[in-house]
């Protein structure tokens, strides 16, 4: 994973924690943390989902997408 993508994922893990959020809730949370998405957030989240970096699915009850990040595993080059 390149450094820019690693920074994005670190930021998302910090913002999302272990909870699931709708796209609208993600926009609000990112704003609170001072992050701004240069592209359409739903499109960016979907690209990350397609890359296997985050998870997302349609919530039929809420009629929207929900997003979450799986807990990260330590990479071999990181100290335990």
Task: Answer whether residue 4 shows pLDDT above 90.
Answer: no
Read off the pLDDT of each residue in 27-54 and give the average, rounded to a whole number: 86
pLDDT of residue 15: 87
Domains of the chain, first to last: 3-68 (1.10.10)
CB count in 10 Å sphere of residue 34: 7
Is residue 29 scored above 80 in pLDDT? yes
Whole-angstrom Cα distance, residue 10 to residue 71?
A: 11
Q: Residue 65: CB partners within 8 Å, gap ≥ 6?
A: 22, 23, 42, 45, 46, 56, 57, 58, 59
Assess whether pLDDT exceeds 90 at residue 14: no
Q: Judge whether residue 79 has pLDDT over 90.
A: no
The C-alpha atoms of residue 1 and residue 7 are separated, in whole angstroms, by 10
Strand partners, 58: 65
Percent of the chain past pLDDT 90, that is, above it, reads 45
């Amino acid at each position: 994973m390149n450094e820019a993508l690693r920074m994005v994922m670190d930021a998302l893990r910090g913002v999302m924690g272990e909870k699931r959020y709708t796209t609208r809730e993600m926009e609000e949370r990112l704003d609170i943390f001072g992050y701004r998405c240069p592209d359409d957030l739903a499109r960016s989240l979907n690209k990350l989902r397609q890359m296997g970096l985050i998870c997302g699915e349609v919530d039929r009850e809420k009629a929207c997408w929900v997003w979450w990040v799986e807990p990260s595993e330590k990479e071999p080059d990181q100290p335990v």
